[in-house]
Amino acid sequence: MKKGLQAIMENDIHKSVSVEKDIFDQIINHSRSMISVINREYVYEKVNSTFCREHQVPNDSIVGKSLSDIWGDDIFRSHLKNKIDLCFSGETIRYESSFYTPRLGERYYEVVFRPLTAGNRGITHLMAETFDIHDLKLSRQEALEREEELRKIETNLPVGFLRCMPDGKIIHANKAFIRLMECPDDIGFQNTNMKSFYPVEILFAIQVEQLLESRSKKFGRVFG
């Protein structure tokens, strides 16, 4: 009787574990990021569907292979091994990199290595999660390039330009504005608030509100 009850309990536990594993696998495989599990021998033990799709290879051509097999020994030793070793020491490693995948070509990615523990055995594996940040990276670069171009234009124009935060704190003034204010450089503006240029402080708040509503505004005369 006891043996029969024990067998039923073990069967129920096995089914429960199997269901949990199936749910976990579905979550991992539906992730938009590339996910892999790597052991201490630097061998892939598991990869998700996104990883296989981006590399255009079946699962069994990755699982069981080392990182050197997949990425080449030079890339493994110069770019991956040190980060992976740090992860196996207990650190979560996060970095950005660009690399080639057959489906999309060369793109920018954010890679996160997270240590995985197995009971009292300590850290036995790591999970590598790779997010595609290509479009975001290009948008940031484009924004930086536009900002630099704008700065160059502002610097050389004979018209005074001033930038400030919505609270009035001045963060940048071009050379023409500095000359108009008869200051030796823009350091003199660092502790200055745009509100101090207005005879009535509320006028500044009104104009900022109009600008935040995407409406251009001619400020009129202010006092320096």
Domain membership of residue 1 (yes or no) is no
- Within-domain flag for 159: yes
How many domains does the chain contain in total? Answer: 2
Q: What local confidence, expressed as pLDDT, does residue 15 receive?
A: 45
Q: Are residues 132 and 161 in the same domain?
A: no
Same domain, 36 and 126: yes
Report which of residues 165 and 124 the model is more confident about. Answer: 124
Structural contact between residues 44 and 70, judged by C-beta atoms closer than 8 angstroms = yes
Task: Name the band, by pLDDT with cuts 50, 70 and 90, for residue 110.
Answer: very high
Q: What is the DSSP letter of 49?
A: H
Same domain, 129 and 160: no
Q: Are residues 173 and 215 in the same domain?
A: yes
Give me the domain span that covers residue 114.
Answer: 31-137
- Tell me the C-alpha distance between 54 and 102, whole Å: 7
Q: Is residue 97 domain-shared with residue 185, that is, in the same domain?
A: no
Per-residue pLDDT tens digits for 56-106: 999 999 999 999 999 999 999 999 999 999 999 999 999 999 989 898 899
pLDDT tens-digit series, residues 178-202: 887 777 666 666 677 888 888 887 8
Half-sphere exposure in the Cβ direction for 167 (13 Å, CA): 4
Amino acid in the structure at residue 2: K
Report whether 29 contacts 52 (CB < 8 A).
Answer: no
Task: Evaluate whether residue 181 is within a structural domain.
Answer: yes
